[in-house]
Amino acid sequence: MYQYEPPLEDYKFILHKLLKVQDLDLKGYSDLAPEYTNQILEEAGKIAKDELAPLNRYGDIEGCKLENGIVRTPKGFKAAFNKVNKGGWTGINCETKYGGQGLPHVIGLTIGEMFCSANMALNMYHGLTHGAYSAIYYHGSESQKEMYLPNLVTCKWTGTMNLTEPQCGTDLGLIRTKAEKKTDGSYKITGQKIFISAGDHDLSENIIHLVLAKIPGSPAGVKGISMFIVPKFLVNKDGSLGNRNDVSVGKIEEKMGIHGNATCVMNYDGATGFLISEENKGLKAMFTMMNEARLGVGLQGIGQAEVAFQQAARYAKERVQGKDITKKGDEKQAHAIINHPDVRRNLMDQKVFIEGARALALWCATMLDAGERNLDKDSEGLASLLIPVVKGFITDKGFESTINSQQVLGGHGYIEEWGMSQFVRDSRIAMIYEGTNGIQALDLVGRKLSADGGKHTIHFIKTIKNFIKEAETCNSLKDDITTPLSEALDDAEKCLQFFMVEGIKNPNQALAGATDFMHLIGYLSLGFMWARMAKTAHEELEKNKEFNPLYETKLASAKYFFKRHLPETELRRKRVLSGSKEMMNIPEIHF
Amino acid sequence: MYQYEPPLEDYKFILHKLLKVQDLDLKGYSDLAPEYTNQILEEAGKIAKDELAPLNRYGDIEGCKLENGIVRTPKGFKAAFNKVNKGGWTGINCETKYGGQGLPHVIGLTIGEMFCSANMALNMYHGLTHGAYSAIYYHGSESQKEMYLPNLVTCKWTGTMNLTEPQCGTDLGLIRTKAEKKTDGSYKITGQKIFISAGDHDLSENIIHLVLAKIPGSPAGVKGISMFIVPKFLVNKDGSLGNRNDVSVGKIEEKMGIHGNATCVMNYDGATGFLISEENKGLKAMFTMMNEARLGVGLQGIGQAEVAFQQAARYAKERVQGKDITKKGDEKQAHAIINHPDVRRNLMDQKVFIEGARALALWCATMLDAGERNLDKDSEGLASLLIPVVKGFITDKGFESTINSQQVLGGHGYIEEWGMSQFVRDSRIAMIYEGTNGIQALDLVGRKLSADGGKHTIHFIKTIKNFIKEAETCNSLKDDITTPLSEALDDAEKCLQFFMVEGIKNPNQALAGATDFMHLIGYLSLGFMWARMAKTAHEELEKNKEFNPLYETKLASAKYFFKRHLPETELRRKRVLSGSKEMMNIPEIHF
């Protein structure tokens, strides 16, 4: 059984020293002082550590079972699920009007990281419910909000998102599920959906399916998609549960990981659905809730990397094997493997990724908050530019980080009993769902870069340039931090120029570099966050002359990141600039 | 069920156009003409495709079971195992004197790649037997060879390698298994071994365990290790099977993958063992057979990447999703995803890795052959320099390649039914066993670079330099191929210089860069192979003026590799030169 320790020190540093969330002045959130947020995070950490983490491996082994049309979750899941709900953790960043706690996303996502570290499969039931809450909150009618939101906030009812069909994943224009309007204004939903996470289970009284479907006669392609609420049990006017709707589970998929979460084939056989927003506006409704969802998936990448890193670090301190070559003395003596440089290198790679990515994701969360509560369009725009990077880059690297953790344990890493395999298998899905990482890259290059006339891209570059200008006055950061950050920014700008010049002539020239560009911006963004963390640590050390190992370590970690990871922007720039010629010219038969 | 097609065209190109194995003039192997080797490879390919591949997924699902002390392999494994044996495939590169076919390693390993693509778990039973054959062949007494080799060649008996113990993996100096000499000259073996692949099973009549143990009173550490033959059933003088030896299976480990291969805890309770070579020379015996074994693991990385790539390419040609942005016409039409640049990019990354790595591994195999048969010390030395790279770099990248293949299938890649998860889970072990990839990197930097006064390192550099000199006279290869290859070589030389200057002062300065240096040499070596392939393709095209898509594609692939992958040497060089300061100074408590 693995152990999980909430990384509270790092949260404190990021939230209060780096992002200074207490000064954000978000409307409706008056109190984000350290004492208050620390207390919340500590309590959430206890739930994660004591209630969720102990069930994680069990959920992997037992998985979900379909018995007589009903999905059974692993033993213990229901009790833990209820404990989270009763603690009010499910509505932490939901509106108070519907029973939420009214806290900002930055706090909700921090808690989400812990819950995901502890038990990703179980936390997904909560996460998807939050997604359904958001869809109805932003696009539902007043009466829909009143009918569904309070129970979604408490997770008395849970939610799902039904997009994928056998012939249609990324390309939602190919959806075949049909929605026919009935005389009472509701719709008759017919079709099959696949890969539906938390599609059915025994954790909640009702399940609110959000389903994308096409109304006969609507425009072809994505412009003819509508979104519907299809409850498992229809809800009576007084809020009580009515008849079972005509939706059923076809089967549970056998997956590589997240076994504790039921991934279902869902059959809609003339089920009753209720339109959200307007006809044919389904895709738009999807898109506006996507930022928060994708940010959440990015956090999953961090959460899994964090818990895997903790096991690897503990193992490295305990496992005695081989001599520390710098230590004098008995030739035959062996030392803990954390003393061996290649193991250190591996642990450092994990550490600087996790802390940098966490800072980036939580910074984006504060910008979403500012956008939502303060109607700060610039912040919202910058967040929406960076969110495909947070989702795509961080889940790519987060998965890689779990692989690196697994490697520290050698042969034991490959044995299921040690739990490392599960982190690898669970985290793998984050690169695929909520839009594959290739799609994130296309979203970034094909859509976000030029959105609103490229305004947010310019804002991003300016933000980094302003920081460099301010920070480079500090001589002790210049060589190690600000100068290389400048060079990395230059790599990004060269790619942007290439996209502008070449992409217009032939879009494939740009799109062939999409994934590499996403990674370039990922490294640049992590570099920016590490530069800010280095500056913060440096200032704290200046203020407080006595030796403080936390800040010393942050500074050393920043330098490590800049020496060993940031130079990847140069490689990625070269790849982007190499264009698409060879790859597109090779005959299909040679693949 | 996945489909596997033996990549016979590529084998032909590599063996006969690139490596020209028919001209190698290996003693004892007179006939390596294309017609002959093609026929062998075609036949082996049929076995792989028709007998082994159809069982692969079944082996994953059913796994191995311990029933009343006996391990049962998955249904169908025994019949397929016997078919391979009866075809004579098990002794392909064993000596004819013991019933082998007497072919060189380069052919044996090519066949090994196919068998591994088709069914890695099943092929491991054969592979480990070949390892046992080699250990006894190189280090056993004449009577041991006569007693064991003929049945190991046919796999009537199988073999295992017993190194790891609970407290001792990499550091074999910590071995506790005890070997006490008995009056009849045999030894009493007592101890527990873990992670023993193919430790027990129902495929063969007898299992020949090779066990590392310590004789009481022998020197401490690795200098006091001896190697023993411990047969499951003792063998009578007439070759018939005698009593059951005191070795038993403690349990089968639950692993992330290779479920069809039984990974056992083996208990030796005073079992009878027979010394191989001399007392305390066990590690030396291990080392001499390691080159071939590690090369074989490298081939596993390629084999798994190849089969995963085939599924991804097929899916990409069939799956219709999203519009090809360069095609005019109906806005709503969707196209096969192989037309989308990001999917192409992914497939190309896999393709250039697989073909380059295959060329490298098979080149190393020809050098091992030259060393063994022609006593060509230079070739042997160069092979032993490159083999940690083949094992470490190729299995790292091979695993990554299976991940990329899985990504092409989107959500379907995560569902076990499609088989992509199994390739990922199976190939993961190759980074761990036969010495973790971190250990390969240390072997390269700490041992191989300076072996024999650095002679082989100089030979490697000279070989590339000579090639460049010869090839750069060809103008059409200069800009795209020879110039960047030169630069990559320069990156390697800068690291070597750093190791010489800094490593002497503080070995951690060098060792902190071990993994990055291994990858640098990996990219450089693949670059060298791609340059040679480009030159070969170019020459063939010159000779034969009509359009030949195979050579055109090889040339385009080489250019792709040089533009997109070779520049990684620069990144790795920067990492190596950054040394060890920050990572070693951070207090242990901050991990």
Is the Cβ–Cβ distance between B143 and B237 less than 8 Å?
no
By the CB < 8 Å criterion, does A444 face chain B? no
Residue B291 has pLDDT above 90, yes or no: no
- For residues B50 and B4, what is the distance between their CA atoms, to the nearest angstrom? 9
Q: What is the mean pLDDT of residues B206-222?
A: 96
Task: From B114, B140, B166, give the residue that closes a domain.
Answer: B140
Q: Min CA distance, A100 vs chain B (Å)?
A: 33
In a domain, residue B312? The reply is no
The CA distances from residue A284 to A168, A287, B332, in Å, are 18, 5, 18
DSSP state letters, B424-483: HHHHHGGGTSSS-HHHHHHIIIIIITTHHHHHHHHHHHHHHHHHHHHHTTSHHHIIIIIH
Is the Cβ–Cβ distance between A394 and A353 less than 8 Å?
no
Residues 510-529 of A with CB under 8 A from B: 511-512, 514-515
Residues A179 and A249 in one domain: yes
**Residue in B167, B157, B222, B207 with CA at minimum distance from that of residue B191:** B167
Q: Residue A320, SS3?
A: strand
- Residue contacts between A and B (CB atoms, under 8 Å): 257
Residues B472 and B550 in one domain: yes
Q: For position B67, what pLDDT does the model report?
A: 94
Catalytic residues of A: 434
Q: For position B331, what pLDDT does the model report?
A: 66
By the CB < 8 Å criterion, does A432 face chain B? yes
- H or E segment and range at residue B284: helix B282-318
Question: For chain B, what percent of residues have pLDDT higher than 70?
Answer: 99
Residue B325 corresponds to which tokens in the numbers above? Answer: 């942005």
Task: From A79, A105, A140, give the residue that closes a domain.
Answer: A140
Which residues of chain A neighbour B255 with C-beta distances below 8 Å? Answer: 414-416, 421
Q: What is the mean pLDDT of residues B48-59?
A: 97
CATH number at residue B275: 2.40.110.20
The CA distances from residue B407 to A400, B311, B404, in Å, are 14, 11, 5
Cβ neighbours of B542 (radius 10 Å): 11
Residues B126 and B220 in one domain: no
Which residues of chain A neighbour B316 with C-beta distances below 8 Å? Answer: 591
Average pLDDT, chain B: 96
DSSP state letters, B235-267: E-TTS-EEEEPSEEEEEEPPBSS-TTS-EEEEE
Q: Min CA distance, A254 vs chain B (Å)?
A: 6
Q: How many domains does chain B have?
A: 3
Residue of B nearest to A332 (CA): B221
Residues B488 and B543 in one domain: yes
Query: Which letter does DSSP use for residue B320 in this model?
Result: B
Q: Min CA distance, B440 vs chain A (Å)?
A: 11
Task: From B233, B258, B281, give the residue that closes a domain.
Answer: B281
**Residue in A425, A61, A412, A443 with CA at minimum distance from that of residue B403:** A425
Q: For position A327, what pLDDT does the model report?
A: 84
In a domain, residue B14? The reply is yes
- For residues B50 and B119, what is the distance between their CA atoms, to the nearest angstrom? 11
Which of A313, A348, A413 has its CB closest to that of B432?
A413
Residues B220 and B263 in one domain: yes
Residue of A nearest to B435 (CA): A410
Residue B242 has pLDDT above 90, yes or no: yes
Residues B128 and B175 in one domain: no
B311 pLDDT band (50/70/90 cuts)? very high
Query: Which letter does DSSP use for residue B162 in this model?
Result: E
> pLDDT below 50 — which residues of chain A?
none
Residues A265 and A209 in one domain: yes
By the CB < 8 Å criterion, does A557 face chain B? yes
Q: Min CA distance, B89 vs chain A (Å)?
A: 29
**A75-83 LR contacts (CB < 8 Å, sep 24+):** A77/A122, A77/A203, A77/A260, A78/A202, A78/A203, A80/A51, A80/A52, A80/A55, A80/A119, A80/A122, A81/A122, A81/A125, A81/A126, A81/A155, A81/A203, A83/A47, A83/A51
Q: For position A333, what pLDDT does the model report?
A: 82
Residues 167-206 of B with CB under 8 A from A: 167-171, 173-174, 194-195
Residues 91-150 of A with CB under 8 A from B: none
Cβ distance of B410 and A429 shorter than 8 Å? no
Interface test with A, best of B171, B331, B342, B504 (most A CBs within 10 A): B342
Q: What is the mean pLDDT of residues B113-138?
A: 97
Cβ distance of B584 and A514 shorter than 8 Å? no
Express each pLDDT in B528-562 by its tens digit. Answer: 999 999 999 999 999 987 778 899 999 999 999 99
Cβ distance of B334 and A174 shorter than 8 Å? yes
Cβ distance of A575 and B564 shorter than 8 Å? yes
Which residues contact residue A544 at a Cβ distance below 8 angstroms, ignoring those fewer than 6 apart?
Answer: none
Task: Give the residues across from B30 on adjacent strands.
Answer: none
Which residues contact residue B356 at a Cβ distance below 8 angstroms, ignoring those fewer than 6 apart?
Answer: B526, B527, B529, B530, B533, B561
Q: Residue A4, SS3?
A: coil
In a domain, residue A360? The reply is no
Residue of B nearest to A558 (CA): B582
In a domain, residue B259? The reply is yes
What is the torsion angle, in degrees rounded to the nearest 10, for the CA atoms of residue B417, residue B419, residue B420 and residue B423? 140
Which of A173, A414, A590 has its CB closest to that of B549?
A590
By the CB < 8 Å criterion, does A346 face chain B? yes
Alpha helices in A64-119 (DSSP H): 77-86, 105-118
Residues B129 and B243 in one domain: no
Which of A429, A559, A585 has its CB closest to that of B414?
A429
- For residues A346 and A327, what is the distance between their CA atoms, to the nearest angstrom? 21
Q: For position A216, what pLDDT does the model report?
A: 97
Q: For position B32, what pLDDT does the model report?
A: 87
Residues B235 and B136 in one domain: no
Task: Give the residues across from B197 on adjacent strands.
Answer: B263
Residue of A nearest to B332 (CA): A221
Residues B542 and B484 in one domain: yes
In a domain, residue B375? The reply is no
Which residues of chain A neighbour B407 with C-beta distances below 8 Å? Answer: 431-432, 436-438
In a domain, residue A297? The reply is no
Which residues of chain A neighbour B253 with C-beta distances below 8 Å? Answer: 415, 417
Residue of A nearest to B400 (CA): A400
ipTM: 0.97
Residues 9-68 of A with CB under 8 A from B: none
Q: Residue A72, SS3?
A: strand
Cβ distance of B170 and A583 shorter than 8 Å? no
Q: Residue A168, SS3?
A: strand
Q: Min CA distance, A8 vs chain B (Å)?
A: 13
CATH number at residue A56: 1.10.540.10
Residue B30 has pLDDT above 70, yes or no: no
Cβ distance of B583 and A316 shorter than 8 Å? no
Domain encompassing residue A165: 158-281
Alpha helices in B119-215 (DSSP H): 120-139, 142-153
Residue among B434, B542, B552, B582 flagged as catalytic: B434
In a domain, residue A324? The reply is no
Residues B81 and B42 in one domain: yes
Percent helix, percent strand, percent coil in chain B, to nearest 5: 60, 15, 25
In a domain, residue A210? The reply is yes
Q: Tell me how many degrees the CA angle B486-B491-B493 measures, rounded to the nearest 5.
A: 90
Q: For position B26, what pLDDT does the model report?
A: 86
Q: For position A446, what pLDDT does the model report?
A: 96
Chain position carrying tokens 């109190």: A31
Residues B128 and B185 in one domain: no
Q: Residue A120, SS3?
A: helix
